[in-house]
Amino acid sequence: MTKAITVSGLHKSFGTTHALDGLDLDVEAGEVHGFLGPNGAGKSTTIRVLLGLLRADSGGAQVLGRDPWADAVEVHRRIAYVPGDVTLWRNLSGGEVIDLYGRLRGGLDARRRAELIERFELDPTKKGRTYSKGNRQKVALVAAFASDVDLLILDEPTSGLDPLMEEVFQRCVEEERDRGRTILLSSHILSEVEELCDRVSIIRKGRTVESGSLADLRHLTRTSVTAELAGPPNGLSHLPGVHDLAIQSTERGQGHRVRLQVDTDKLDAVLRSLSESGVRSLTSTPPTLEELFLRHYQDDVREGATAR
């Protein structure tokens, strides 16, 4: 499979701030790739490097097989970009902006444009400032989805959309994927990512910390286990991969309630140890996507706390 985007060891500093610190990113052609990370992790900086708006200090980036800085115009002919914060010209109507962007890319599919305007319930005759945030995003989204391009780069494109429009957006992304287009989707809306993305990359402090399919990532994270045991648990705390272990005696003083988190690939050893003490009841919860992300997001907070 060819790569739509390849980024390796990307560095970018603004003064003393290291916005990107050796970031890697691989997006296969034809996939929907989730791009996640806490605020300030470097998502938008990465996207601006991919668009040739910023020049990387070091490291390589290729978009559709070309250097986005040197070959910006050729690359952009096949790209549509939707920024998170869409600003429009006060005296241009939404329809004019859509057509302008279409013409400045590879061209616009007039039928798809009409269909999208209807589906997104957008009034194309209104002018710049009179659109709400969500409607400004719709203008950029209609322009992007109706453009004849190979790669869509969407930077938190749904932050102003209502749930119904969010649904329309998701259908559109699926249609684009079905047509063989590649989509890089930066988003904080986890349900959206879970629904749409084939693979995700999580970045933190300018570095990629996880990359892979959601199933892969789940495997890497922790399952929470709650069990009631007939006898005292034995040696649980010494098992590798066990975290946040809490043991309580139950009312009669004989049974014990155990709560723990375990790295999912170490689950087997924990279950064996538990069964030695006589399991009365057991619940095991696979990690939710939220936990997956929170774990990475919170590392920032924890590190910040210990640094202090």
Binding region for another protein (CB under 8 A):
44-45, 48, 51-55, 72-74, 76-77, 79, 81-83, 85-93, 95-101, 103-106, 124-127, 129-130, 140, 153
Q: How far is the CB of 70 from another protein (least distance, A)?
A: 11
Nearer to another protein, 39 or 306 (CB): 39
Which whole-number Å values give the CA distances from 295 to 39, 206, 210, 241, 298, in the listed order? 15, 17, 11, 15, 5
- Helix (H), strand (E) at residue 279: strand 279-285
Q: How far is the CB of 147 from another protein (least distance, A)?
A: 9
Q: How far is the CB of 89 from another protein (least distance, A)?
A: 6
3-state secondary structure of 147: strand
Nearer to another protein, 69 or 195 (CB): 69
Nearer to another protein, 129 or 280 (CB): 129
Q: How far is the CB of 164 from another protein (least distance, A)?
A: 22
Per DSSP, helices labelled H in the chain are 43-50, 72-76, 94-104, 110-119, 133-146, 163-178, 190-196, 214-220, 267-276, 289-307
Nearer to another protein, 93 or 223 (CB): 93
**CA–CA distance, 213 with 45 (Å, rounded to integer):** 23
Q: How far is the CB of 93 from another protein (least distance, A)?
A: 3
Q: How far is the CB of 203 from another protein (least distance, A)?
A: 17
Q: How far is the CB of 260 from another protein (least distance, A)?
A: 44
Nearer to another protein, 25 or 86 (CB): 86
Instruction: Give phi and psi for 136, each to the nearest 5.
Output: -65, -40
Nearer to another protein, 19 or 193 (CB): 19
Nearer to another protein, 101 or 120 (CB): 101
Write the CB contacts of 155 (distance below 8 Å, at least 6 apart in sequence): 43, 44, 47, 81, 82, 83, 84, 186
**CA–CA distance, 89 with 157 (Å, rounded to integer):** 19
Quickly tell me which residue has 């986005």 as its tokens: 68
Q: 3-state DSSP: the chain helix, strand, coil percent, rounded to 5? A: 40, 30, 30
**CA–CA distance, 98 with 207 (Å, rounded to integer):** 35
